Amino acid sequence: MVPRVESGGLALGGVPLERAFDSLGRLEPGTQAGWIYDLDLIVARARRFTRAFEALAPLPAYALKANALPFILERLAQEGLGAEAGSEGELELAAAAGFGPARRVLNGNGRTPGEAEWAARAGMHSINADSVEELELLERAAAREDRGLRVALRVNPGVEAGGHEYIATGHDLAKFGIAPGDALAAAGSGSSGCSSPGAGWSRRRACCSPACCGSSAGTGGASSCSGRG
């Protein structure tokens, strides 16, 4: 969101910034700085993104790590978007903003027992698992709540995209994600109980496959039932 010059001054969303700061000063006397957002522009971009993929009928999910201000989240929830959370705190923010269970996606690495228990207790659209070990954690949480959890594995496709070695993702030695062979082994092993290798992971009341999991697409950070590279 870049301010534009209008009528000799900077404006955002058609509102002169000078007027916006005057209003801020009346609300919070002594304030020297602040953040100003064009909510109409945010909504317009979300709608454009949703229209671009509507033929696939996905769940467009806004990543809270982009900006989790309540008034932004509440407006995007009203637009029917999903919320992609990366922590228990972000899950709470999403729920408070009006994103129901069918529109919440849990993402990120280092899954904690608290996050798994929250997801199983409150309900989720889906969870993106970053490691095979995470599946056991999610299964235990789902069993305690007697609730199904839909899980997608983040599979590294073995693509070398360049960049600094400590932050590069998607390659064979990436610290995040699962190698294709390990993902297939988890899906097809007797311990995971998956009905067919490669279809996804299912054990007791948890499963993931394109058929049962659906899909999600993120406006702030991509999320997909087939995994993230």
User: 190 versus 76: which is more confidently predicted?
Assistant: 76
> Beta 59-63 vs 149-153: how paired, if at all?
unpaired
- Is the pLDDT at 6 greater than 70, yes or no? no
Q: What is the pLDDT of residues 136-157, one digit of tens each?
A: 999 999 999 999 999 998 888 8
> Residue range 109-136: average pLDDT?
94
Q: What is the pLDDT of residues 34-70, one digit of tens each?
A: 888 999 999 999 999 999 999 999 999 999 999 999 9
pLDDT band at 84; cut points 50, 70, 90: very high
Q: In this structure, are residues 153 and 200 in contact, taking their beta carbons and an 8 Å threshold?
A: yes
- Sketch out the chain's domains with CATH numbers: 1-36 (no CATH), 39-218 (3.20.20.10)
> Residue range 77-104: average pLDDT?
97
Q: What is the pTM assigned to this prediction?
A: 0.75
User: 5 versus 162: which is more confidently predicted?
Assistant: 162
- Is the pLDDT at 203 greater than 50, yes or no? no
Cα distances (angstroms) measured from residue 126 to each of 47, 85, 102: 22, 11, 8
pLDDT band at 214; cut points 50, 70, 90: very low
From the CB of residue 12, how many other CB atoms can be counted at a distance below 10 Å? 17
